[in-house]
Amino acid sequence: MDVSYTEENLNVKEVETNDLNEQFSIGQTNIPNNYALVNIRIDYQYRPSEIADTCLYDFIRMYRKKKVDKTDKIYFDNQAESKQSGSHIKRRGPQPNQRLKFKENHPQYESHILIQRTGTVVPVLIGPQIPRKDREDTKERYARAILTLFLLWRSVDDLCQADITWDQSLKLKASFVLPSSKTIIDNIQLLHECRKDRDEHLIQVIEQTKAADDNIDSVYIPKNFA
C-alpha cells in the first residue's frame, strides 16, 4: 500500500546532510505525528560518549537501536540511583544488556536508545562491494570505505580533510586502526585474492577444455570468460 504524506499529517524533523545520494528512513519520535529522517550514519555520528572509541563496523556488530519502553526507563532510573548513592545496585538473575542514550543532537534522542546485542552479528554491506586495495582505479573508493568502517569519526572531516585524497588520508590514519579491525580488512583482501585465483583457475580449465574439443557449446561458458 502506497502512502503519501503531507505537511498537514506528517512533521519530519530534518537533519543536516551534504550527500544528496544518502538514503534515510522515516523514524518515530516521542511526539505524536512527528517523525525524523534517520539512518545508520546518524545513529553512529551521535553515538553515546560511552562508546566514542567504537568504530562503525563494531557499532553495528555490537549494538542495535530500539524504542524506549518501561524496562528501559527502569534501567536508567536504577543507573541514576546507583550514581547518586555511589553504590552499585545488585540484581538477581542475569544482568540486563547495556543500554545507552544517544547524544542530544540525535533526532530520536528522547524516543530511542542503543542496547547491546545479546550476541554479536556480522554486518552485511548492501550495495557495491569494497574493492581491492591494489587497484589504481578504485583506490579512492577503497580508502573511503575502510576509513568509514574502521576509523573513529563524527563528521567527514574526521575521516578526510578537504585538501587531501581519501587514499592519502588512509595512509596517514592507518596506525589508528585497531588490530581486530586490521584482521577484518586483511580478510576482505584475502576474499578478493581467493576470487581472483578461482577466476584464473576457471579460465585455465575453459581454455584446456576448448583446446581439447573445439566444438564445446558456448552456452556452458560463463559470459565473462567466453
| Residue of higher predicted confidence among 221 and 125 | 125
Cβ contact 138:129 at 8 Å: no
> pTM of the prediction?
0.73
pLDDT digits (tens, 9 = 90+) for 174-185: 999 999 999 999
| Residue of higher predicted confidence among 23 and 13 | 23
Closest of 116, 123, 166 to residue 144, by C-alpha: 166
* pLDDT attached to residue 201: 44
What are all long-range contacts of 182-185, with beta carbons under 8 Å and residues at least 24 apart? 184/57, 184/150, 185/146, 185/150
